[in-house]
Amino acid sequence: MDSEALRKYSALHPKPAGLTLQYGTAGFRTKAELLDHIVFRMGLLAILRSKAVAATIGIMVTASHNPEEDNGVKLVDPLGEMLHPSWEEYATQLANAEEQELQKVVTEICQKAAVNLHKEASVFIGRDTRPSSEKLSQSVIDGIQVLGGQYHDYGLVTTPQLHYMVCCQNTQGQYGKATLEGYYEKLSKAFMELIKQSHCSGESQRHLKIDCANGIGALKLSEMKSYFPQEMLIHIYNDGTKEKLNHLCGADFVKVHQKPPGGLDMKPNERCCSFDGDADRIVYYYKDTAGHFHLIDGDKIATLISIFLKELLAKVKQNFKMAVVQTAYANGNSTRYLQETLKVPVHCVKTGVKHLHHKAQEFDVGVYFEANGHGTVLFSKAAETKIRQLVKEEKDEEKREAAKMLENMIDLINQTVGDAVSDMLVIEAILALKGLTVQQWDALYSDLPNRLLKVQVADRRVIDTTDAERRALTPPGLQEKIDALVKMYKLSRAFVRPSGTEDVVRIYAEADTQENADALAHEVSLAVFHLAGGKGAPPQP
């Protein structure tokens, strides 16, 4: 390691005094002007990680659904998955090291993680459309070059596209070609193969309005348009030419405010969807003839995909184990519908994509979505091999056709991470194949009314939870209080959990009516305020 070069370059990317940041599920995120030293150091870390695992690592410069002024950076592990938890610690140490300790921290990481500095290293870089992203990815490159690594800068890509490229590269092309063309070709080919088998002539023209959050999704969808079949008519809104990224639009805005985005004019019963700023989340919605807004969130997307996959799995008659993975935020009626009507096992895990992804890997077919619209489907190696074998060798026509559809689903789904473009094509194909309208999809079950609140506290660590965050262990008396409150309302449940990023406690409540859900959420927030060290004035109803 060239200590002189490290010292010289590090001085060009100085750390602001007193700033400490934590690497979380979303990597690092903060105001863009505070990130220069962080991204430089993540360039260093990506090289160390690459040398440690002898594979290509990804670095994505994005702050997803955050405001345009923010930015962030996260690392992608060899199979397109999130950075290993032990390396999240190293990322935090490296980011917060003072200038004069930087070399020492790098050396310590090398020792702890058995990094051989003489090994080759390679990194793939991607960035979103924020004004600050280009300069920050240049700082990433500085970090990479100090430690003498190879890199390929993909420039503007969606977050899931970068995850995809990294996976393709490290599977020697088995997962696909590590180029944008390779991504577009693989997905569009699988999509066309699937909808070839749809017999619904009623909606031969598949109109879909897409709100791209004024982000990268608009650019990449425009590039992909020429790969789509004629009958797929997509109309792109909030394409970034006029307004700010994520401002009054995007999946997060629509989900939180339960209303359509600005910049998209909705007619009754039109199918619409929204991506988030880096295109790894998607939600659908429509307005009925009475003008009421209907949101179709991640829970309902998981349900639609599960119905379709379960039917196909029944036809191929292999004993594949299928399950849906949710978090405590999943609507109670979605869980009921999956377990009682569809008879699909449902598992609840802690909030955060990495927990869902990890659990989904335990099954032959693992479907996971967060209510916010981030999710995908994972197929085990054994299931994938068997399905591809049935396509080639199965004599029974019905079985072979079902296997063929499953094979196309495997190719259409981005298994590395939630991907709005891929998920959108999966949903569009299923609706076409089942001849379903957006209203029929929505009518599978009705969501229980719910309410999300947050309470500011002096220290979020006073709350400790168990049972996938559904029960509070501390402070004493809080869970008993919540249990007593829940008993007062029909079809109700409530839970509290500390935020991962700020001194806030998040509260979720659902009940038979909106009025009751609101009342329950308020009473639970008062209990949190009094028992967990609330700050400021008590919550008002």
pLDDT surpasses 70 at 202: no
Query: pLDDT digits over 161-174, tens only?
Result: 999 999 999 999 99
The pLDDT of 185-192, averaged and rounded, is 96
Which residues contribute to the annotated binding site for substrate? Answer: 370-372, 497-501, 506
Label residue 203 by pLDDT band (50, 70, 90): low
**Per the residue annotation, which of 10, 64, 133, 492 is the catalytic one?**
64
Listing DSSP states for 57-123 in one string gives EEEEE--TTS-TTEEEEEEE-TTS-BPPHHHHHHHHHHHH--GGGHHHHHHHHHHHTT--TTS--EE
Same domain, 343 and 457: no
Listing DSSP states for 280-343 in one string gives --EEEEEE-TT--EEEE-HHHHHHHHHHHHHHHHHHHT----EEEEEETTS-HHHHHIIIIIS-
Same domain, 351 and 407: yes
Same domain, 109 and 140: yes
What backbone phi and psi angles, to 5 degrees, belong to 30?
Answer: -170, -170
Query: pLDDT digits over 28-42, tens only?
Result: 999 999 999 999 999
Do residues 135 and 2 touch, judged by C-beta distance below 8 A?
no
| Domain extent for 45 | 3-156
pLDDT surpasses 90 at 232: no
Same domain, 219 and 305: no
pLDDT surpasses 60 at 409: yes
Same domain, 477 and 510: yes
Same domain, 416 and 397: yes
Same domain, 217 and 307: no
482 or 200: whose pLDDT is higher? 482
pLDDT at 2: 84
Same domain, 241 and 358: no
Distance of CA 14 to the CA centre of its chain: 31
pLDDT at 230: 79
> Is 79 among the domain residues?
yes
Active site residue 64: yes
> Is 12 among the domain residues?
yes
Do residues 260 and 249 touch, judged by C-beta distance below 8 A?
no
pLDDT surpasses 60 at 440: yes
Q: What does pTM read for this prediction? A: 0.94
Query: pLDDT digits over 262-281, tens only?
Result: 999 999 999 999 999 999 99
Q: State the CATH number of the domain containing residue 133.
A: 3.40.120.10
DSSP 448: P
Which of 366, 400, 420 is the last residue in one of the domains? 420
| CA-to-CA separations, 397 to 386, 409, 430, in angstroms, rounded | 16, 18, 21
> Is 434 among the domain residues?
no
Same domain, 23 and 141: yes
> Is 480 among the domain residues?
yes
> Is 428 among the domain residues?
no
Which residue's entry shows tokens 């993540």?
Answer: 42
Which residues contribute to the annotated binding site for Mg(2+)? Answer: 64, 276, 278, 280
Label residue 445 by pLDDT band (50, 70, 90): very high
pLDDT surpasses 80 at 501: no
> Is 130 among the domain residues?
yes
Do residues 247 and 127 touch, judged by C-beta distance below 8 A?
no
Strand 504-510 vs strand 450-456: parallel, antiparallel, or unpaired?
antiparallel
Label residue 201 by pLDDT band (50, 70, 90): very low
Share of the chain above pLDDT 70, in %: 99
Query: pLDDT digits over 36-91, tens only?
Result: 999 999 999 999 999 999 999 999 999 998 999 999 999 999 999 999 999 999 99
Which residues contribute to the annotated binding site? Answer: 64, 276, 278, 280, 370-372, 497-501, 506
Angle between helices 478-486 and 514-531 in degrees, nearest 10: 160
Q: State the CATH number of the domain containing residue 517.
A: 3.30.310.50
pLDDT surpasses 80 at 204: no
Q: State the CATH number of the domain containing residue 216.
A: 3.40.120
Same domain, 282 and 309: no
Closest CA relative to residue 209, chosen from 141, 282, 130? 282
pLDDT at 295: 96
> Is 267 among the domain residues?
yes
pLDDT at 206: 78
Which of 235, 267, 295 is the last residue in one of the domains? 295
pLDDT surpasses 70 at 103: yes
> Is 398 among the domain residues?
yes
pLDDT at 298: 97
pLDDT at 200: 55
Same domain, 290 and 304: no
Kindly state the tokens that stand for 362: 């335990």
| Number of domains within the chain | 4
Same domain, 142 and 15: yes
